[in-house]
Structures are given as C-alpha cells and as structure tokens.
Amino acid sequence: MRTLSGTLKKSYVQLIVLFTLLFVLSLAVTGKYLINTSKLHLRNAMGFLDYEIGDEPGSVTMKIFTDNLVNEEFKAENPTLNDLKVIIKFGDNIYSENHNKKILEVAQDNKVENFNFYEYLILSNNVKNKDGDIYNVMLVKDLKPEKKFFFNIVKIFMGGLIFFIVISAIIIEQLLKKINKQLITLENLNSNITLENLEILKPVNQFKEFDNIWGSYERMLKRLDEQNKKQIEFVHNASHELKTPIFIIGGYIDMIKRWGQKDTDILNEALTSIEEETKDMGNLIEKLLFIAKEGDIKSGKSEIELSEIIVSATSSLKMIYPKSIVNFEPNYTIIESDEGLVKLLIKNILENAIKYGDNKPIDISLNSTNSQNRVILTIEDHGVGMSSEELIHIYDRFYRANKSRSKEVSGHGLGMTIVRRILNLIEADITIDSQLNHGTKISIYFKI
C-alpha cells in the first residue's frame, strides 16, 4: 500500500520531470527559431544580390571588384548584408570578406549549410548578369550573437529551474513534516481516546482536511457508542421481557407439581396462564426476529387488495381479542406493494388500537386521492391516547406510552418500531394524531 509521503514525493518528481521537458522543448523551439530566422536572412540577402547583379551589364558588375560596389551600394540598400560576410567570384576576380577557406569549402549551390555545429551558416549561388556572365556569390552568417542570446536564455531557464526545484523541495519537505506530525498525533490518540476524554485530547490541526477527519472520527465514535448503548439496552430489555413470562411459567409449573394433580381448577388455571405466556413469548420472539433480520428483508411488489387484508387481520385479532369491535366497510382498493409486509403493518397498528382503545369501537376507512395517486388507510381508536411528549418516542424499541396503563395492557413496545421499518421498506408514509384520553388516529399513505 502506498504512503502519503511517498505519493507526494513521486508527484513532486513527476512535476520536476514535466517542467524539465517543457524547458527542453522551449529551448529547442527557441534554437530552431533563431536558425530559421538566420537562414531567412541569408536567402533574402541572396535574392537581393541576385536581383542587383542580374539587372546590370558586365561593365557595371565588374565594379564589385574595382570600386567596392558591395559596401557602397549593396549594403546601403539592404542593411541585412551588414550582418553577413560576402564572397563573389568571377573568373580570376574575387571579392571576399571572409578568408576562412574551410568555411568556403562547405558551401553548396543554393543550399544553406552550417559549419562547426552552427558556428556559421553558408549559402552559395550562381548569379547571371545581363551579359550572361556568371558570378559565384557566397554569403556567410556568423551565429555568435544568436548563440550568445540562446545560451543566455539557457542560463536563465536553468537558474529558474534549479531555483524552483530547491524552493519546491524545501516546501514539500516542510509540508510532509507537518502532515507526518498530524498523522502520528492521530495514530497516538487512537490508542488512548475515549468518549470521556474526546474533547480533552482533541488535537490542534494545521490543516482543515485533518480537522474534517477528526470530526468524522468523533462522530463515528459517538454513533458507535450510541449504537452500543442501544444494543445493550435492547439485550437488557429483551432479557427482561423474556425472563418475566419464563418466571411466571416456572411458577405455574411448580404450582401444578404441588396442587395441580389433586385440584383440577388449579391445573386448568395454570395451563391457561402457561398457554397465554407461551403465546406472548412467541409473539415477542417473532418481533425480535423481524427487527434482527430487517437488513436482509427484500420488499417485493405485486397487486394486492387492501380490503381483503384488513378483513383478514381483523378476523385474526378477533380470535385473540374477542371483545374488540372494529367498524370497517370493505372498499375494493388495489395497490402495488409487498403483501406480507402490508399484512404485518396493518396487524401491528390494529392490535395497538385494540389494546389501547379502552374497549371502544375501532374505526377503519379506505380513501383514494386521485391528485396524488395514493390510497389512505385510516385506523382510529377512541381510547387512552398519548401526550405530545409520549408521541416523540413512539418508534423507540421497548417504549410503552401511558406507563400507568402498561401493566394492564400486555405488550413489549416493539409494534411501532416494526411499523416504522416496514414503512421504510415499502416506501409508504404515516401521520399520527393523538390526544391524551381522546384516542389516536393513524393514517397510512400507500402508493397506487
């Protein structure tokens, strides 16, 4: 696995290589431009001499060798010639401003040649005058000024590159030291930190990114602590809820052993209570299993008829709560959702309404909203209701509203927790309106 410092150093080297390549490319372009400019000057000057010599008769062109025509007229008309050495040959006559024979030997007809690695450029050409006389003209360009200019640029570029490398290396080294210091601090804190000393040990971060990391780490610790506390609370509450019926069952079994064989009334009472507690434990375990495997539950979609599900749930609960009264007029309504989850959802809400409905009728209704393409299922009881403070905690696990009535009403405080999770799975919405001692009205919004 790569380290942060190693990655930064590698990026730094890559940046230096990139700058060096750009530097070399810039020098190559500059050198090429200087050479091409010098070649252009040679060809322009040769064109000028070709025109001047070719336009004159032999009597005039001979003045090149007798009257210094090159300096007096040609260079006066074309200043470009001032930077060049001119050599003109005609028969035995020679006009030469350069006496280096090695340079002249390099010259080729109508082609620019370089001498001694671009120390000089030479261009040679044959020119005819009006009388048909052929003059051999050679131009020599001394590149010392251009080379001096080029190497001055090289020095400036090299100096700038070296300065950049040194300064950037110092900056990168200082940055790496600061980053490593922060990383070491975080690493050391990791083995000693707890939620109790979180604020005390919080380091002073020089970089916003490290501050963000610390903030994320702090939030993670708090979330883990909160989840751990909830898990511990869940285990304690589950153990308590399971321990109570087990204790009761054990008591009735002991009672059967002592008196049940002789007294049938005691035996029947014990068996009835054991049966009720067993059902209660089964119901609790079913709810705990649903909560435990929630992450593995996949919500499917199919066309289901809501009225049929409501009637089925009402009938099932009627067996458990024979005194309950549920008012519902079936209304043929089709939605697309998961049938099993919708059944469990309605059963939990309806069971709560029956338990806390104070033996008063439960009203159920189904309505469609064409504008929003939704179906509204409303379940309303007229029982004990809840206060606004209790309503806030309605989805908390093992939370039971109206504690004074909790002992009278069987339950475990898991029903609405399951309701909330089912709503998330089937993508339905809920609203709850409750008033203490007036009842509770719950509306579920299903997508059509």
Q: CATH no. for residue 63? A: 3.30.450
Tell me how many degrees the CA angle 281-284-285 measures, rounded to the nearest 5: 85
| In-domain check, residue 57 | yes
| In-domain check, residue 374 | yes
Question: If you average pLDDT over each of 82-86, 175-179, 319-323, which comes out highest?
Answer: 82-86
Q: Which residue has the higher pLDDT, 279 or 292?
A: 279
Collapsing DSSP states into helix, strand and coil, what is residue 371? coil
| In-domain check, residue 189 | no
**Whether residue 312 sits in one domain with residue 272:** no
Is residue 201 pLDDT above 60, yes or no?
Answer: no
Q: In the chain, pLDDT over 70 holds for what percent of residues?
A: 81
CB-count burial class (<10 Å; 0-12, 13-18, 19+) for 255: middle
What's the whole-number average pLDDT of the chain?
80
310 pLDDT band, cuts 50/70/90, is: very high
pLDDT one-digit tens code per residue, 255-284? 888 876 777 877 888 788 788 778 767 766
| In-domain check, residue 62 | yes
Is residue 232 pLDDT above 80, yes or no?
Answer: no
Q: Decide which of 292, 309, 335 is a domain's last residue.
A: 292
User: What gap in Å lies between CA 333 and CA 319, rounded to an integer?
Assistant: 25
**Whether residue 118 sits in one domain with residue 77:** yes
| In-domain check, residue 99 | yes
**Whether residue 338 sits in one domain with residue 252:** no
Q: Decide which of 292, 325, 348 is a domain's last residue.
A: 292
Q: In the chain, pLDDT over 90 holds for what percent of residues?
A: 16
CATH number at residue 285: 1.10.287.130
413 pLDDT band, cuts 50/70/90, is: low
Q: Which residue has the higher pLDDT, 179 or 366?
A: 366
**Whether residue 308 sits in one domain with residue 288:** no
What's the pTM value of the predicted model, to 2 decimals?
Answer: 0.46
405 pLDDT band, cuts 50/70/90, is: very low
Collapsing DSSP states into helix, strand and coil, what is residue 172? helix
R_g (Cα) of the chain, nearest Å: 50
User: What gap in Å lies between CA 104 and CA 87, rounded to an integer?
Assistant: 9
| In-domain check, residue 74 | yes
pLDDT one-digit tens code per residue, 16-44? 888 888 888 988 999 899 999 999 999 99
**Whether residue 437 sits in one domain with residue 360:** yes
**Whether residue 344 sits in one domain with residue 429:** yes
**Whether residue 339 sits in one domain with residue 273:** no
**Whether residue 134 sits in one domain with residue 33:** yes
Please give the pLDDT value at position 33: 92
User: What gap in Å lies between CA 430 and CA 118, rounded to an integer?
Assistant: 88
Please give the pLDDT value at position 127: 92
**Whether residue 54 sits in one domain with residue 38:** yes
Is residue 371 pLDDT above 70, yes or no?
Answer: no
Q: Which domain holds residue 265?
A: 208-292
User: What gap in Å lies between CA 441 and CA 448, rounded to an integer?
Assistant: 22
CATH number at residue 398: 3.30.565.10
**Whether residue 278 sits in one domain with residue 345:** no
Q: Decide which of 292, 326, 352 is a domain's last residue.
A: 292
Q: How many domains does the chain have?
A: 3
**Whether residue 143 sits in one domain with residue 79:** yes
What's the average model confidence in pLDDT over 177-204?
Answer: 66
| In-domain check, residue 183 | no
Is residue 197 pLDDT above 60, yes or no?
Answer: no
State how far the alpha carbon of 187 is from the alpha carbons of 194, 195, 222, 308, in Å.
Answer: 14, 16, 19, 61
**Whether residue 375 sits in one domain with residue 331:** yes
| In-domain check, residue 128 | yes
Please give the pLDDT value at position 135: 92
Q: Which residue has the higher pLDDT, 199 or 125?
A: 125
394 pLDDT band, cuts 50/70/90, is: confident
